[in-house]
């Protein structure tokens, strides 16, 4: 018997990017209840950029963090309710609210070279009894030694687990495996992986992460998420079950959630098109896509050119405002 793999579903957080953050609390509760019944261990919810993310800069969600968390916490019987917090977007006050209304887990997400900005959030979460996970985003933008250095910082703050996250869907299986193995050996903590599918490698990269020692992996129903989406959860469960891993997730039930519950609420099928492929190739943050599409239409320039230029400039999450500047500059060059 192979080991147990913890499954975190982010349909109701990363998937919010694909619907312009417009899931209602009722839709979230409906999907979350079915995910819980299917046996998913942890369910992450909220505006795509985490608690505190509903804003002009990142896009307004249909409801407040409080409304989403209250609605979902009422229907969960076994799954742990999880929120994402990006320091500078979400605050400790936001985390207090999330915890008050039922969040049990917080993933503190920082750029791969900036774990120190999450220190106070990790420590505060631990002080109020939450599970606190360090979440290193855009891990393709740092070499292995640098990622290990930052992971050790999260470990020193008391993180319960550490994620090596491929926010741009830009890494290959060998690159993922090297990062996971090194962080696992350096910290001794449970290690997680969050994949994006911009190069069509989300499932392959997730398997590579598990084989390299990852204990926790993410997925979304139908792969719904930023860019070309995430590892497609029902596919991932089928593959892991076939390989003999224990996930606790019922394969038929998760298939039903994806096809019967999530699909009716999707705006469009989650596919790898020329623009989402460009995200993976250029190595830019997945949530840039909708912003780039709007700027492309406004300034009459190719979306791919915007994304490629953002990649050349090594932009990171939180620099969405630069997309307008880049699109304007490209339009003048035309």
For position 1, what pLDDT does the model report? 58
CATH architecture, domain 6-263: Alpha-Beta Barrel (3.20)
For position 307, what pLDDT does the model report? 96
For position 262, what pLDDT does the model report? 98
Q: What is the pLDDT of residues 178-192, one digit of tens each?
A: 999 999 999 999 999
Q: Please indicate whether residue 118 or residue 59 has the higher confidence score (pLDDT).
A: 118
> How high is the mean pLDDT of the chain?
96
For position 2, what pLDDT does the model report? 78
For position 334, what pLDDT does the model report? 78
The CB-side HSE value for 53 (13 A sphere, CA atoms) comes to: 27
Average pLDDT in the 143-162 region? 98
Q: What is the pLDDT of residues 200-253, one digit of tens each?
A: 999 999 999 999 999 999 999 999 999 999 999 999 999 999 999 999 999 999
Runs of H (alpha helix) within the chain? 25-38, 65-73, 92-100, 119-127, 144-156, 173-187, 202-211, 233-242, 251-256, 274-282, 288-299, 303-312, 322-333
CATH architecture, domain 274-333: Orthogonal Bundle (1.10)
Q: Is 163 annotated as a binding residue?
A: no
Q: Is 13 annotated as a binding residue?
A: yes
Q: Is 14 annotated as a binding residue?
A: yes
Q: Over 90: is that where the pLDDT of 301 sits?
A: yes
For position 22, what pLDDT does the model report? 97
Identified catalytic residue from 17, 21, 111, 193: 17
Domain residue ranges of the chain, discontinuous segments joined by +:
6-263, 274-333
Q: What percent of the chain has pLDDT over 90?
A: 93
Average pLDDT in the 169-173 region? 97
DSSP H or E segment with residue 44: strand 42-45
Residues 6+ away with beta carbon under 8 Å from 325: none
For position 188, what pLDDT does the model report? 98
Residue 81 and residue 293: Cα distance in Å, rounded? 32
For position 58, what pLDDT does the model report? 85
**Catalytic (active site) residue 193:** no
For position 138, what pLDDT does the model report? 96
Q: Is 111 annotated as a binding residue?
A: no
Q: What is the pLDDT of residues 69-115, one digit of tens each?
A: 999 999 999 999 999 999 999 999 999 999 999 999 999 999 999 99
Q: What is the pLDDT of residues 20-77, one digit of tens each?
A: 999 999 999 999 999 999 999 999 999 999 999 999 888 999 999 999 999 999 999 9
For position 304, what pLDDT does the model report? 97
Q: For residue 52, give the 3-state DSSP assignment.
A: coil
**How many Cβ atoms from other residues are within 10 Å of residue 258's Cβ?**
25
């Amino acid at each position: 018997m192979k080991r147990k793999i913890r499954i975190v579903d982010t349909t109701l957080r990363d998937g919010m990017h694909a619907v312009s953050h417009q899931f209602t609390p009722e839709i979230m509760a409906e999907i979350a209840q079915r995910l819980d019944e299917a046996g998913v261990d942890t369910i992450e919810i909220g505006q795509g950029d985490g608690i505190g993310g509903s804003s002009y800069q990142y896009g307004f969600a249909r409801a407040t963090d409080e409304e989403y968390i209250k609605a979902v916490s009422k229907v969960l019987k076994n799954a742990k309710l999880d929120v994402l917090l990006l320091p500078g977007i979400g605050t400790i006050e936001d985390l207090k609210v999330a915890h008050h209304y039922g969040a049990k887990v917080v993933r503190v997400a920082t750029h791969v070279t900036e774990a120190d900005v999450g220190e106070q959030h990790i420590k505060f979460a631990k002080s109020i009894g939450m599970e606190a996970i360090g979440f290193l985003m855009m891990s393709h933008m740092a070499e292995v030694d640098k990622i290990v250095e930052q992971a050790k910082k999260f470990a020193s703050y008391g993180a319960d687990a550490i994620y090596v996250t491929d926010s741009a869907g830009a890494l290959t299986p060998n690159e993922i495996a090297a990062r996971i193995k090194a962080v696992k050996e350096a910290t001794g903590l449970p290690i997680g992986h969050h994949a994006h599918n911009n190069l069509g490698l989300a499932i392959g990269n997730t398997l590579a992460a598990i084989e390299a020692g990852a204990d926790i992996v993410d997925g979304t129903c139908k792969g719904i998420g930023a860019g070309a989406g995430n590892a497609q959860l029902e596919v991932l469960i089928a593959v892991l079950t076939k390989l003999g891993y224990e996930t606790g997730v019922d394969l038929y039930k998760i298939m039903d959630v994806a096809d019967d519950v999530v699909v009716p609420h999707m705006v469009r099928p989650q596919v790898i098109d020329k623009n989402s492929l460009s995200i993976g190739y250029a190595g830019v943050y997945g949530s840039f896509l909708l912003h780039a599409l709007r700027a492309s239409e406004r300034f009459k320039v190719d979306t791919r050119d915007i994304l490629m230029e953002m990649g050349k400039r090594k932009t990171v999450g939180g620099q969405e405002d630069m997309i307008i500047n880049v699109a304007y500059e490209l339009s003048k060059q035309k």
